Structure 1
């Protein structure tokens, strides 16, 4: 393993992030092929590649984190050595992708990208568990941790978490409260206006009776 190849791996990962199609969620194929060839020629580059991936996984941009998740999944599906490296650091991977510790490691913005990152990662992790749990016990351990902290339902096809469902319900309740306040204010204003109209009519009738 040469220092030049290590730097090339890091540079290629950075370029993959720059060229990532956020709308289509697609990795740049020429750069992906280049990275694949580098790793294929020298498996000793895998730890360096994983380090580069985790370094970028800490980016304060959920779109960039999503790029890394898709990149990790690509190699996870193709390399036993890569799977071993990832499962050894699986808890850190989940911390930065599914808000495993929202108090100290909340997902960065933009909000829509953070939601997408979480859903995509959970769906990918579900696939990993289904396909590889037999050969990698740490996947089962990570699943247990995830279920206990996120109460994630693997049966849900949209990958939505209990936290996310609670957040959506809280948003709905807040909206209902705001809507009710608006309606109450309109009714109050209408009642107040109606009272003024009634007073004006009485005053007019009194004036007419005095003429």
Structure 2
């Protein structure tokens, strides 16, 4: 593919801007722009690789660090870029690891240490990902690890340990959920009974304060004989009239005790029973229960 007339200048400008920073990471927006520019053509990939390798010779470790971070991003994604860098792999290791006495890493020392650490980390990662296909990567890794005895982060062991820890955390989480499920299952009958009893008491209280005779007297305060008579002859009509007129039952001295009970039962239903039901539903959604476990009784 032929490059654009301004393509080379754009690639060089983006890389130059991205490496002129005091930050420890490359600006994500500039990094994205560099990737986009290099995807346009092979010629720009070649120019990008050449520009980055030149910047690795800079006499400041901060520039080298940011340059190496860009190289790693492109190295993992572009086969052509990877091939171009591998052709100068020994030079890259010398300029980033600083293992040759004749080519020490430039100042500042703290950034030079970070540069060296990152270079060793990237080399191990590259060897794991591409060492089988690139002899230069394998040889470089072997030389630094087994000949120079440099300490590598052992990414495979670290990844395996993290995976093992993640699985252990997941197993502990499942165990806790299963334990909570067993508790919910064993106590479900009691919870169901408590909810039904609370609802029953609320219904009874509502019936007491809502059922009235023709004269508006609450049925609960009538004597038993009058209560039965009014209940039999007027109950249905009273309910229908109440619904049609949307009458509100006011709290009075006669029914205040019933209202107090209704309020307490309402609080119990909303603050205890509803919360218990919601917690139970949340648990059932998350828990992994095998098919051979007993189901929660209805």
TM-score (norm 2): 0.48
CA displacement 1:51-108 (0-9 Å, x = unmatched): 1101111111111111011100001111111111111111000110101212x21100
Cross-structure match for 1:27: 26
Give, in whole Å, the separation in 2 of the partners of 1:155 and 1:71.
Answer: 21
Aligned residues: CA RMSD: 1.8
Runs of 5+ consecutive residues of structure 1 not aligned to the other structure: 158-211
Cross-structure match for 2:96: 97
Cross-structure match for 2:53: 54
Cross-structure match for 2:39: 40
Q: In the TM superposition, what are the counterparts of 1:129-208 in structure 2 within 5 Å?
A: 129-147=127-145, 150-154=148-152
Give, in whole Å, the separation in 1 of the partners of 2:69 and 2:108.
Answer: 18
Contact kept in structure 1, 2:121 and 2:153, CA below 8 Å: no
**The residue matched to 2:97 in structure 1 has which SS?**
coil
TM-score (norm 1): 0.67
CA displacement 1:31-61 (0-9 Å, x = unmatched): 1111111111112211211111011111111
Runs of 4+ in 1 over 2 A off after TM superposition: 144-150, 153-157
Contact kept in structure 2, 1:20 and 1:67, CA below 8 Å: no
Cross-structure match for 1:10: 12
CA displacement 1:168-203 (0-9 Å, x = unmatched): xxxxxxxxxxxxxxxxxxxxxxxxxxxxxxxxxxxx
**The residue matched to 1:97 in structure 2 has which SS?**
helix
- Quick one: structure 1 residues 14 and 155, their matched pair in 2 at CA, closer, same or farther if it must change by over 3 Å? closer
- Quick one: structure 1 residues 20 and 76, their matched pair in 2 at CA, closer, same or farther if it must change by over 3 Å? farther
CA displacement 1:134-154 (0-9 Å, x = unmatched): 122221122233236532233
Contact kept in structure 2, 1:62 and 1:107, CA below 8 Å: yes
- Quick one: structure 1 residues 156 and 34, their matched pair in 2 at CA, closer, same or farther if it must change by over 3 Å? closer
Largest Rg, 1 or 2:
2
